[in-house]
Amino acid sequence: MSVLVGKKAPSFTAQAVLNGNNIESSFSLSQFEGQKYVVLFFYPKDFTFVCPTELHAFQEKLAEFEKRDTVVIGVSTDTEFSHWGWLQVEKNQGGIKGVTYPLVADTNKTISENYDVLVGEYVGQNEDGHLEVEGELIAYRGLFLIDKEGIVQHQLVNNLPLGRNVDEVLRIIDALQHFEQHGEVCPANWTAGSDAMKPSHESTSEYLSNN
């Protein structure tokens, strides 16, 4: 598993569904660089069980992300048409109607591969010359916090059965923004409004900024 923290987030341009209805043919991550923080999260499949709980949970807290100048983007290896169809299904029927943030279609699996969250992999050809795959070519529950400079500041990857905590994502954004604004580092279990810590010397602050 690659560690992308401290590195430039892999860029992409792909099909996406915006505002729960509109299909965008060239949705790009780079449009937010210099403008917004980005929470980019991957989920395994449309029309499943844990996934809609996560997608709705992000939607329910979308205003909190917006207060933090942060864009939420979901990605799976389904097509844009699958995303669109799922968005038309009511929540009480297992759908995600009401989700308005972008859902990206990683149909060719390259985004998931570049973020190293792809479950399966191509293992070569068998004795008959046919291509073989080990595992499903779907995404783990990966999540990446990308700052305004396009640098990954936080990553989390859960296995398929394990849903994420959206409040924890907000806490991490608060911690990053507190450090950026005040130069104070945030100890374990820190929450916004709690005491942070002054670095012991200037080199600590410089190290954290560059790493």
Spatial separation of the C-alpha atoms in residues 56 and 91, rounded to whole Å: 9
Give the pair of three-digit tokens for residue 72. 């939420």
Cα–Cα distance measured from residue 185 to residue 205, given in angstroms and rounded to the nearest whole number: 8
Is 51 designated active site? Answer: yes
Active-site residue, from 38, 51, 72, 73: 51
Q: Which of 112, 105, 73 is nearest to 86 (CA)?
A: 105
Of 189, 186, 170, which is closest to residue 178 (Cα–Cα)? 186
Q: Please identify every residue annotated as catalytic.
A: 51
